[in-house]
Amino acid sequence: MISRIWHGWTTPANADAYETLLKNEIFVGIAGRQIAGFRSIHLLRRDVGQEVEFVTVMWFASLEAVRTFAGEDYEVAVVPPKARALLSRFDARSQHYEVRADVKV
């Protein structure tokens, strides 16, 4: 299992609009691609001073599935134009981790 982690920041004024865009359009579009090996996506949000930080954590069965999602240079951030318009800054590249434990309680 591979975890893909990415960070983006908005102004407080754009935070709710960005979250809505993610939930109602971008995440729906990702799910609609029906990528073999895509498992799920989590959205985290926190206020940090004059910014709002968002973290997306995507779960894939393999790096090949990540490449299907993001392309051959799979670390490049996938940020649609509508999202870029609401973000003040974002990671240009995503981080990928091999999941070594997944404990359910």
pLDDT for the residue 10: 98
CA 35 to chain centre: 15
pLDDT digits (tens, 9 = 90+) for 32-77: 999 999 999 999 999 999 999 999 999 999 999 999 999 999 999 9
**Whole-model pTM over 0.85:** yes
What residue ranges define each of the domains in the chain, with the CATH number in brackets?
Answer: 2-98 (3.30.70.100)
Percent of the chain, pLDDT > 70? 100
pLDDT for the residue 79: 97
Are 58 and 27 in contact by the 8 Å Cβ rule? The answer is no
